[in-house]
Amino acid sequence: MGKKLTPRSEDYSKWYNELVVQADLAENSAVRGCMVIKPYGYAIWEKMQAQLDSMFKATGHQNAYFPLFVPKSLFEAEEKNAEGFAKECAVVTHYRLQNDPDKPGKLRVDPEAKLEEELIVRPTSEAIIWSTYKGWIQSYRDLPILVNQWANVVRWEMRTRLFLRTAEFLWQEGHTAHETKQEAIDETIQMTNVYSEFAENFMAIPVIKGLKTDSERFAGAEETYCIEALMQDGKALQAGTSHFLGQNFAKAFDVKFTNKEGQQEFVWATSWGVSTRLMGALVMTHSDDQGLVLPPKLAPIQVVIVPIYKGQAQLDDIDFVVNRLVNDLRLAGISVKYDNRDTMRPGAKFAQYELQGVPLRLAIGPKDLENGTIEMARRDTLEKFSFQLEGIVEVIAQNLVAIQDNLFKRAVDFRANHTTEVDTFEDFKKTLEQKTGFISAHWDGTVETEAKIKALTKATIRCIPLNNPQELGKCVFSGKPSAQRVLFAKAY
């Protein structure tokens, strides 16, 4: 604990790194690019997992678990997918260590224990899962398969940042198999909607649902749906993706089913995932120069109570009142911590819980006891209020709702103020530099134009929004005709 965070205005990236470490969310590990998720950070992830998991189950999915390793021959079966991930794969080549004859007490890889076929540590599980589904699917009666997996995956990223881009990360990956193309597309869209609902109603992060362009699509997918969020520094963050995989993996792994007419057909597939990257989005959407700001629905501690006292007698009186309050709050389903440690001053406690983003802080001292009051501080607005203790549980519940709503509204307003319609490339560049955020502009639909804009500005097409208004116009770069605007931004 302790030292102040670098202000966001000074160095947003430094602020982020300091916040993640100081708020006890995560830290870098001894393994290049891999993070340690600390208990407080993991508790937030657990709340996210629990909510997502219940939403997956409510839409008919079941969890399962598939191997960490993918044999090279399976990995390379779907060529585009393999090509997309080949350059960032951790590869297991040996299965034993032995004493190093040259260095007593040290170990080395046993050259005799070389695998006949290398194993890839899964960067994503389509290959291993579709090689398994081949054994599960014979007839239309075996479909649909609606399976999700919570797992770790590894992508050997060269430049890593806590939560946002790490070599190993935690995620869920849904992998479904269907009789018809339409059913698979419906599933892909359904899961995009589930992600959007989760982001907006639980993380309090407004997102744009859209389609990726050819060059940003998942390797091996026919179509990638995504949800895109906007961070406080005006950069976009892809918060979740849902892929319509067509019959690509069914063909690569020869997965056919007998349809109701008795004919053999290839199976239709989807996959969809969100990861611990969402933790980064959560931090960068709501937090401030004092530290983390958490939406109440995902806060491991929703309310912290700090006693202000001198001497044991005063503390005993406060304990008596607070213990009853704690009990009442728990009965109301509110998670509360009473921090009456005597090894830390109230001011230091205030700073710690502010840094860790606890939505409501209550303080109570001898004066409050006399007056039957309690002080409440809102983390989102940093406002303080004094309330009567009588009826305080209801007031707390209302304030938690108000904070959740306010965070979402703030983020919606921020995005509205940072989404700009632009019709010339000059304005495009100026907006990107000065105002940042999403730029809504016409695009001629070619990979070439997209690549040139990226090379010149670092902005990419984040998505073609779903239900996008059709509007004739000219491409902001090439001047060629265009039927709709798309969203550009610099992105994480």
- Which of 414, 454, 458, 455 is CA-nearest to residue 437? 414
Task: Please name the residues in contact with 45: beta carbons below 8 A apart, sequence gap of 6 or more.
Answer: 37, 170, 276, 279
Applying CB under 8 A, does 254 fall inside the site for its own copies? Answer: no
Q: Does 68 bind its own copies (CB under 8 A)?
A: yes
Residue from 10, 11, 88, 426 touching its own copies (CB under 8 A): that is 88
Instruction: Work out which of 15, 16, 56, 66 binds its own copies, going by CB under 8 A.
Output: 66
Q: Strand, helix or coil at 159?
A: coil
The 10 Å CB-count burial string (b at 16+, else e) for 307-346 is bbbeeeeebeebbebbeebbeebeeeebbbebbeeeeeee
Q: Which of 19, 52, 70, 422 binds its own copies (CB under 8 A)?
A: 70
The H or E element containing residue 315 is: helix 311-331
AA identity, residue 215:
S
Q: Does 262 bind its own copies (CB under 8 A)?
A: no
Q: Are 166 and 152 in contact (CB under 8 A)?
A: no
Options 19, 23, 143, 151; binder of its own copies; rule CB under 8 A:
151
Contact call for residue 72 and its own copies (CB under 8 A): yes
Does 168 help bind its own copies (rule: CB under 8 A)? yes
Q: Which of 90, 59, 55 is nearest to 72 (CA)?
A: 90
- List the Cα angle 488/380/390 in 5-degree steps: 150
Q: Does the footprint of its own copies cover residue 64 (CB under 8 A)?
A: yes
Q: Which residue in the set 98, 182, 381, 388 belongs to the binding site for its own copies (CB under 8 A)?
A: 98
Look-up of token digits 């034993």: 96
CB of 81 vs its own copies, minimal distance in Å: 12
339 binding its own copies? (CB under 8 A): no
Q: Which stretch binds its own copies (CB under 8 A): 37-45, 171-179, 425-433, 436-444?
A: 37-45
Nearest distance in Å: CB 148, its own copies: 9
- 97 touches its own copies by CB under 8 A: yes
Tokens representing 231? 């961070």
Token duo for residue 67:
């191997």
Spatial strand order of the sheet with 336-338 comes to 336-338, 303-307, 360-364, 373-378, 384-388
State the nearest-atom distance from the C-beta of 42 to its own copies, in Å. 5
Is residue 119 close enough to count as binding its own copies by CB under 8 A?
A: yes
| Beta strands at 360-364 and 303-307: parallel, antiparallel or unpaired | parallel
- 120-149 residues in contact with its own copies (CB under 8 A) are 120-121, 128, 131-132, 135, 141, 147
Nearer to its own copies, 106 or 452 (CB): 106
* Contact in structure between 326 and 337 (CB atoms under 8 Å): no
If one asks whether residue 54 binds its own copies (CB under 8 A), the answer comes out as no
Q: Which one of residues 6, 17, 55, 90 is an interface residue with its own copies (CB under 8 A)?
A: 90
Residue 480 engages its own copies in binding (rule: CB under 8 A): no
Among 15, 16, 42, 198, the residue binding its own copies under the rule CB under 8 A is: 42
Nearest alpha-carbon partner for 230 in 416, 434, 49: 416
Number of neighbouring beta carbons within 10 Å of residue 431 = 21
Tokens of 55: 């939403």
Is 35 a binding residue for its own copies by CB under 8 A? The answer is yes
User: Considering only 12-20, 117-125, 174-182, 214-222, which stretch makes contact with its own copies by CB under 8 A?
Assistant: 117-125
Residue 11 touching its own copies (CB under 8 A)? no
- List residues near its own copies by CB under 8 A: 27, 29-31, 34-39, 42-43, 45-46, 62-72, 74-76, 79, 82, 86-99, 105-107, 109, 118-121, 128, 131-132, 135, 141, 147, 151-152, 154, 156, 168, 170, 343
